[in-house]
Amino acid sequence: MPAPLLTLQDVQLTIGTTPLLDGAELFVEPGERLCVVGRNGSGKSTLLKIAAGMLEPDGGRRFAQPDATIRYLPQEPDLSGHADTFSYVAAGLAPGDDVSRAHYLLGRLGLSGSEPITALSGGQARRAALARVLAPKPDILLLDEPTNHLDLPAIEWLESELSAMSGALVLISHDRRFLERLSRATVWLDRGKTMRLDRGFSGFEAWRDQLLDEEERDRQKLNRKIAAEEHWVRYGVTARRKRNVRRMAQLGELRREHREARRQLGQVSFSITEQGNAGTRVIETRNISKSYGDKTVVTDFSTRILRGDRIGLVGSNGAGKTTLLNLLTKRLEPDAGTVIHGTNLALVTLDQNRALLDGQVTLRDVLTGGRGDYVEVGGQRRHVMSYMQDFLFLPEQAGTPVEVLSGGERARLLLAKALAKPGNLLVLDEPTNDLDLETLDLLEELIDEYPGTVLLVSHDRDFLDRTVTALLYAEGDGRFTEYAGGYADMVAQRGGGVEAGNKSDTAKKAAPKERVRSDTSRRKLSFNDKHALEKLPGQIEKLTAEIARLHHDLADPALYTKDPARITKLSDRLTAAESERSAAEDRWLELEALKEEIEGK
């Protein structure tokens, strides 16, 4: 067996009074393909910084082979001190390294090398940093969340590039698909300690659950032993006090062990409250287009989004995903075409801009708006300490400024803030950035169980496969194609991933949703049309309230024993009311579209 290129043994690091790393270990052999996983705040990034030699631990041993080259990609690379992207990448080369590889990597990552460092977006900075660490072909490559800010074409290219490299790879990522395809061994960092599985990430979650089950069984045995000792103390200590001091000491030791055991953190627990009942038709677009100067971002796009749909928007950065999302939610007006919203629409938004959180504001004040110790969740007051714990924050963190939170903790805080708001249209822009795998699991469950409609932009292929019912893919030149299913379904229909070429004529794309017809030959609204346009929203609102009452009445268990005949009556009325509401919505949508078409002429 070859000697490890890099060794970390019994690494100790304490932040404040809390041990972050407590005997952690890491061994990296030549050609290793290793992923490091664990909860947000568990110390993964810290462990990687120690491995890179950028952080000195309180205790333990780090050894790297003297001739081994190591390159490290942090979550937030610092590009300052360089004029442009090429000079930044070239500065990471050692004497004798091939400068042409720097040009090659920049080109493959969509950069020319002449971009000023001061003008780079987050995604461009990440691409330049990747080119810098890849260019020297290091013996060990340490990557901390390399897919953050990358679009799907770049992620798929990076997978291919890393698969072909000969050096060792140590990887931290929240992207399951990325981990599954690149890792051959897994290190789990949990409560300061590391455990290794000599299998890739695809085998990790079952192994982790097995270890946690065994730990829980051991804890229950300890609890039973404590209970038995306490029983003896209550009923036997008086008669045997002198002979059994040893047993009292044992009980104290058991209690200390139980009290000081660093248990697995609890699960994230959160829910979202639907604001009323949105209509069946949520959003309808007819031939909408949007351009910025000479660049067409969206062209001639039509779709209908119904209540309960989960729609994902995917494609390259700059292809128009966010623009289309803003058009769909009416935060942006189209240059041409019509966007119509259904009735009772209440929007809840979570975007990727962590900077919206003021770094000086405390966690408590972010959630309460600075108004005391309570937060409104689903129309009910909850103490902020209780609500914080739903998102894995400890009570003592209530006064913590946002600026000291990790990226993952900020992501969870934004989730907590957004999900306290009632709504029936949930808009998520890159929600998976910086979330740990357990929180991702629960976010997926929330989306699955959410009674409203979901629009999301994501580059996480596994997340898309687990959540969406359809995808809108940005083909380029403002064109969007709709595919039924998730990312894997889109790949099957396209014959390849996002890098695939134009589809053949025989390739099947998802059938477009039914469109509302309108008579464009008409030039004005009749008196009856105008009257209906004014009255229909009120009728729809009344029908929606009636439907809610009928659902409430039918949910009463006593109804089925006290008045069975009323069940049929209520059920029939519910069916009729839903049909009336659907017809009213169709009519209102048609008249609203006609009005906008006439006014736009």
- Cβ atoms < 10 Å from Cβ of 78: 10
The encoded tokens of residue 356 equal: 């919206």
Q: Do domains 6-206 and 527-600 have the same CATH topology?
A: no
Backbone angles phi, psi at 127, to 5 degrees: -65, -40
Distance CA 273, CA 446 (A): 11
DSSP code per residue over 231-298: HHHHHHTTTTTGGGHHHHHHHHHHHHHHHH--PPPPPP-------S---SEEEEEEEEEEEETTEEEE
Q: Does the structure show a pLDDT above 90 at 68?
A: yes
What mean pLDDT do residues 583-590 have? 73
**Residue 514 burial (C-beta neighbours within 10 Å; 0-12, 13-18, 19+):** exposed
pLDDT (0 to 100) of residue 358: 72
Distance CA 333, CA 429 (A): 19
pLDDT (0 to 100) of residue 1: 67
The 10s digit of each residue's pLDDT in 486-501 is 888 888 777 765 655 4
The CATH T-level fold of domain 281-494 is Rossmann fold (3.40.50)
Distance CA 597, CA 601 (A): 6
Most confident of 124-128, 360-364, 481-485: 124-128
What mean pLDDT do residues 536-559 have? 80
Strand-strand pairing, 140-144 and 70-73:
parallel
pLDDT exceeding 70 applies to what percent of the chain?
81
Q: pLDDT band at residue 278, thresholds of 50, 70 and 90?
A: low
The encoded tokens of residue 280 equal: 């069946």
pLDDT (0 to 100) of residue 289: 93
pLDDT (0 to 100) of residue 409: 76
The encoded tokens of residue 484 equal: 């039924």
Distance CA 449, CA 272 (A): 10
The encoded tokens of residue 189 equal: 């960092």
Class of domain 6-206: alpha beta
The 10s digit of each residue's pLDDT in 170-223 is 999 988 999 999 999 999 998 899 999 999 998 888 898 888 888 888 888 877
The encoded tokens of residue 361 equal: 């504001």
Distance CA 160, CA 154 (A): 10
Query: What is the H or E stretch that residue 581 is in?
Result: helix 564-600
pLDDT (0 to 100) of residue 520: 38
Residue of 370, 403, 367 lying closest to 385 (CA atoms): 367
Sequence-separated (6 or more) residues with CB below 8 Å from residue 450: 272, 274, 426
CB 156 within 8 A of CB 490: no
The 10s digit of each residue's pLDDT in 144-168 is 999 888 888 889 899 999 999 999 9
b/e map of 17-42 (b: 16 or more CB within 10 Å)? eebbbbebbbbbbeebbbbbbbbbbb
The one-letter code for the residue type at 299 is T
Distance CA 155, CA 162 (A): 10
The one-letter code for the residue type at 283 is I
What mean pLDDT do residues 535-546 have? 82
Q: Does the structure show a pLDDT above 90 at 537?
A: no
pLDDT (0 to 100) of residue 182: 93
DSSP code per residue over 391-430: TT--GGGTT-BGGGS-HHHHHHHHHHHHHTS--SEEEEES
Size (the chain), residues: 601
The 10s digit of each residue's pLDDT in 461-494 is 888 888 888 889 988 888 998 888 888 888 877 7
Query: Across the beta sheet with 18-28, what order do the strands follow?
Result: 18-28, 6-15, 59-64
CB 145 within 8 A of CB 117: no
The encoded tokens of residue 167 equal: 């050096």
Sequence-separated (6 or more) residues with CB below 8 Å from residue 7: 26, 27, 28, 61, 62, 63, 64
Q: Where are the domains of the chain?
A: 6-206, 217-260, 281-494, 527-600
Q: Which CATH superfamily is domain 527-600 in?
A: Valyl-tRNA synthetase, C-terminal domain (1.10.287.380)
pLDDT (0 to 100) of residue 487: 86
Residue of 112, 141, 137 lying closest to 127 (CA atoms): 112
The 10s digit of each residue's pLDDT in 373-431 is 888 776 677 888 888 887 778 788 888 888 877 766 777 787 788 777 777 888 988 88
Q: Does the structure show a pLDDT above 80 at 324?
A: yes
Per-state percent for the chain, helix, strand, coil, to nearest 5? 40, 20, 35
